[in-house]
């Protein structure tokens, strides 16, 4: 049995990640990493 799309008769194509998605992904990880690093340094400096 083959899975059929309800909207079209043509086969569905998977789309790859575009450059915009890659930039957003990298930006998110960079901000997350910097926030984590800043938290660790603040705890170390202030001895919280």
pLDDT in tens, 1-35: 666 656 655 555 555 666 678 888 899 999 999 99
Which of 20, 2, 31 has its CA nearest to residue 39? Answer: 31
Q: In the prediction, which pLDDT does 10 show?
A: 52
- DSSP secondary structure code for residue 25 in this structure: H
> Which residues, 6+ apart, have CB-to-CB distance to 25 below 8 Å?
17
pTM of the model: 0.55
- DSSP secondary structure code for residue 11 in this structure: P
- DSSP secondary structure code for residue 40 in this structure: H
């Amino acid at each position: 049995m083959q899975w059929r799309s309800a909207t079209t008769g043509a086969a569905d194509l998977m789309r790859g990640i575009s450059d915009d998605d890659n930039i957003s992904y990298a930006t998110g990880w960079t901000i997350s990493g910097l926030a984590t690093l800043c938290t660790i340094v603040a705890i170390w400096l202030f001895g919280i």
